[in-house]
A = this chain, B = another copy of it.
Amino acid sequence: MAGNSIGKLFKVTTFGESHGLALGCIVDGVPPGLDLAESDLQHDLDRRKPGTSRYTTQRREADQVKILSGVFEGKTTGTSIGLLIENADQRSQDYSRIKDIFRPSHADYTYQQKYGVRDYRGGGRASARETAMRVAAGAIAKKYLFEKCGITIRGYLAQMGDIQCEFKDWQQVSQNPFFCADEEKLIQLDELLRELKKTGDSIGAKVTIVAENVPVGLGEPVFDRLDADLAHALMSINAVKGVEIGDGFAAVTRRGSQNRDEITSAGFLSNHAGGILGGISSGQKICANIALKATPSIEIVGKSIDIHGKDVDVSTHGRHDPCVGIRAVPIAEAMMAITLMDHYLRHRAQCNDVDAINYFK
C-alpha cells in the first residue's frame, strides 16, 4: 500500500531516489501563522549533508531546499507545504558495476524480490539520501514546538564501536564533526575512523536523543503510545536495529524497587522511564537511544550472489560513511520532532478542554 507517509495530524510524505532527479516531501497539517523560510530548514540539512568532513562520504550535495507551497509572505498558511531538493552530484557510473549484484546486508535483494524491479543506482529509494527530506520536515516541527512550548530536541553520538562518549555539554556537540558531547573522546574517534578507512571497514554506533520542556500529556494509549510511535519513527531510519526509551534494556536486570521513578512534592526523583509513563509524556526529559549497524558498503571483499543466483565477490568502492551513526544524529532529532509534533496536535484535538496541573513546588 502506501508506506511513504508518517504522522497522522502532522503528516510527512516523501519521495525520491539516491540518483533520481530530486528528493521531495509534502508536510501536511502545519498550523497556520508560523514564520517559515528556507533558511529555517537549511541549518539541519547542512548538519546532515554529506561531504562536510573527512569522516563522511565525499559525495557533494548542496542539499539546498526549496519551499514550493504552503508559505505566503513568510508565514505558513495551513495548506500543504511542498519541499524539493534537486540531486546534483549523482555519478551513476559509480554504481553500474553492481547493477546485477545483491550487495550483502543491503536492500538490493529484498527490493528486487518484493517489487521485481529496482533502481540500483546508489540503493535507489533505500539509500539514506532519502532522509534529507525527513530532516527538512523535522525542522518545521522543531521550530513550531520551540516557539509554542520551548521544546528543544537535540542528539549526540553516545558510542562508536567500543568508544563510549558520555554526555558532557551541548555546546561541545556542535563543535566537532562527530556530534560528540565529550571532548576527551575526539582523538579516539578520529583514530578509529582513520583506521577504518585504511582497512576499508566500517563501524556501528549508538545515538542518544533528548527532548526537553515537553508538556505532560502527549501520547495516545493504547497503540499510539508516545513511546511506541517514537520506536516506529526511530526504527524507520536506515541502519537502525534497536530503540530504547529511557534506560531501555538496562531495566531487564533491575528490580521494581530500583527502577521505579519515585515522586515527591518537589518533583520526580529519577527518570528511568525516559519521560514517558503509560505511553504518555510525564513532563520529564524524553530520552531515547538508537543502535545503528555498520554500513555493509565496505572495501573488504564479501560473498554474495548476482541476479542470476551466481556466487560473486563484492567490494564497495563507492563513496560511503565509515560510520553512518554520525550523520544519523540530525535525522533522529527530526524523527523525534515529527513524532512529538504529531502528538502535540493530537493531544490538542482531544484534550484541549483539560488543563494540566502543576503539582510540584
- State A11–B126 Cα separation when bound (angstroms): 20
Count chain B CB atoms within 10 A of each CB in A10, A82, A116, A252 and give the residue with the most: A252
| A30 nearest CB neighbor, chain B only | B350
Give the Cβ gap from A219 to chain B, nearest Cβ, in Å: 8
| A266 nearest CB neighbor, chain B only | B311
B-side contacts of A152, CB under 8 Å: none
Assess the B77–A115 pair: CB atoms within 8 A.
Answer: yes
Assess the A2–B10 pair: CB atoms within 8 A.
Answer: yes
Stretch of A44-52, A55-63, A178-186, A292-300 on the interface side? A292-300
Assess the A300–B4 pair: CB atoms within 8 A.
Answer: no
Interface string of A69-107 (1 = CB under 8 A from B): 110100111111110100000000000000000101111
Assess the B68–A24 pair: CB atoms within 8 A.
Answer: yes
The answer to whether residues A309 and B265 also contact, given A14-B222, A26-B15, A110-B280 and a CB cut-off of 8 A, is yes
A43 part of interface (Cβ distance < 8 Å): no
B-side contacts of A280, CB under 8 Å: 107, 110-111, 113-114
A166 part of interface (Cβ distance < 8 Å): no
Copies of the chain in the assembly: 4
Count chain B CB atoms within 10 A of each CB in A6, A104, A234, A302 and give the residue with the most: A104
Assess the B225–A291 pair: CB atoms within 8 A.
Answer: no
B-side contacts of A349, CB under 8 Å: 1, 9, 29, 345-346, 348-349
Assess the A24–B22 pair: CB atoms within 8 A.
Answer: no
B-side contacts of A224, CB under 8 Å: 1, 3, 236
Assess the A116–B33 pair: CB atoms within 8 A.
Answer: yes
User: 4 extra interchain contacts, Cβ-Cβ under 8 A, other than A9-B346, A232-B235, A264-B305?
Assistant: A15-B81, A32-B354, A115-B354, A262-B304
| A110 nearest CB neighbor, chain B only | B280
Assess the B259–A296 pair: CB atoms within 8 A.
Answer: yes
- State A202–B259 Cα separation when bound (angstroms): 10
Interface string of A266-306 (1 = CB under 8 A from B): 00010011100111111100000001111111101011110
- State A321–B263 Cα separation when bound (angstroms): 23
Give the Cβ gap from A27 to chain B, nearest Cβ, in Å: 9
- State A290–B111 Cα separation when bound (angstroms): 27
Assess the A235–B241 pair: CB atoms within 8 A.
Answer: no
Assess the B110–A281 pair: CB atoms within 8 A.
Answer: yes
Assess the B247–A241 pair: CB atoms within 8 A.
Answer: yes
Assess the B3–A220 pair: CB atoms within 8 A.
Answer: yes
